[in-house]
Structure 1
Amino acid sequence: MAEYTHVGPGLPPLHGARANALILGSFPSPKSREQGFFYGHKQNRFWPMIAAVTGEPVPDWADIEAKKAIILKHGLAVWDTIGACDIKGASDASIRNAVPNDVAALIQKLGVRAVFCNGAASGRIYAKYAEPLTHLPAAVLPSTSPANAAWSPARLQAAWGAALAPFLRADGCK
């Protein structure tokens, strides 16, 4: 069994000057921290799902610039609710002593109109720390983690696509 490790800071937020919607994970996995970018585990379904939802080609796993381009082109922002924590491996269920990121300040700075949490852990942290400041409820969407095997890629694309569609821009958020 993995031991607890104190990890932080996490990754900096990815955004342009403005964003219609903010997608929040909980905390970057060891693979994401190693890669230095969001959803860095090859089996995480986030990038194939976001590509399908936006109509973009699926970026190569290592092509961080292509991943950034999808987010920025469509008026999105990506970050995590937690900036540092004690965690066992990549298990959201093991997170303790969470230090939240200042998500409320980012929402205000970017003019975000909608918040989407990638899984329940992100949703809980957002509701506890950011929502009381923003008064902007988050939609908690099914996790794109491979551990969420109950959700097929097609079901993920349908749920995420329906939620994000009103906030996507083909030319970014100007």
Structure 2
Amino acid sequence: MKQVKHQLATKEYYIPDWPVKHLFLGTFNPEGGEKVNYYYGRARNKFWPLLRELTEAKFQLNNTQEFFAELKHHGIACMDMIDTVNVPEERLGKVLGKGYSDATIINGYTEREYNTKAIQKLIGSNPGIKVYSTWGKGQQLMEWKGEIAKVEGLIPLVSPSMAAWVPKGTDKFEFMLADWESKIKFE
């Protein structure tokens, strides 16, 4: 087994240290894969375009100072449920490949170490925080379900992944936006 750490684990913002009103929980960004500047940083993911629509902020990931100023202004932070994974050597390429498919990390052969305690601590230190999950409904692993059940009050969002399911004939972005607009309120 090979341990794969979260690619943002050494960054000062891995566990947010600013006041958080809206916490978005994802799954995992492995080191050694496609590099991102912050969570949900891949071009095909619509997370930041959705938040741009909801907040009218720019959220330009390539301008670090402005990006974090906007996050803090809106009380937004992101974290992933998984901190590290232990992967059989022969499956390592699937975890480190492009796209970060949740199916490659939430399965019966990959061992996961979770961020649950850090997430709970962040929630406890930010009264009134809203916590959103952005993963799809495909995960069936009981261990995963048990771990996320420890995070109280999760508000499920339609996944911002362009690979996510939407009703046939529906514009994916508009479908995502309608769901997010109904569940997220920025003051």
Interval of TM-score (by shorter of Structure 1 and Structure 2)? 0.7 to 0.9
Separation in 1 of the partners of 2:67 and 2:28? 18
Q: Percent identity?
A: 22
Q: 1:6 to 1:143 in 2, by over 3 A?
A: farther
1:144 aligns with 2:160: yes
RMSD: 2.9
Q: 1:143 to 1:137 in 2, by over 3 A?
A: same
Equivalent residue, structure 2, for 1:9: 6
Q: 1:13 to 1:92 in 2, by over 3 A?
A: same
Q: Report if the CA contact (8 A) 1:104-1:131 is conserved.
A: no
SS of the counterpart of 1:99?
strand
Q: Report if the CA contact (8 A) 1:117-1:138 is conserved.
A: yes
The structural deviation recorded for 1:8 is: 0.7
Equivalent residue, structure 2, for 1:62: 62
Aligned residues: 158
Deviations along 1:43-94, one digit per CA (max 9) or x if unpaired, are 211111111011223x445233333233211122211111111462311011
Q: Larger % of helix: which? A: 1
1:92 aligns with 2:102: yes
Extract unaligned runs of 5+ from structure 2. Answer: 9-13, 88-93
Separation in 1 of the partners of 2:145 and 2:66? 31
User: Quick check: which has more Rg, 1 or 2?
Assistant: 2
The structure with higher relative contact order (CA 8 Å, sep 6+) is: 1
SS of the counterpart of 1:72?
helix
The structural deviation recorded for 1:126 is: 7.4
Q: 1:122 to 1:15 in 2, by over 3 A?
A: farther
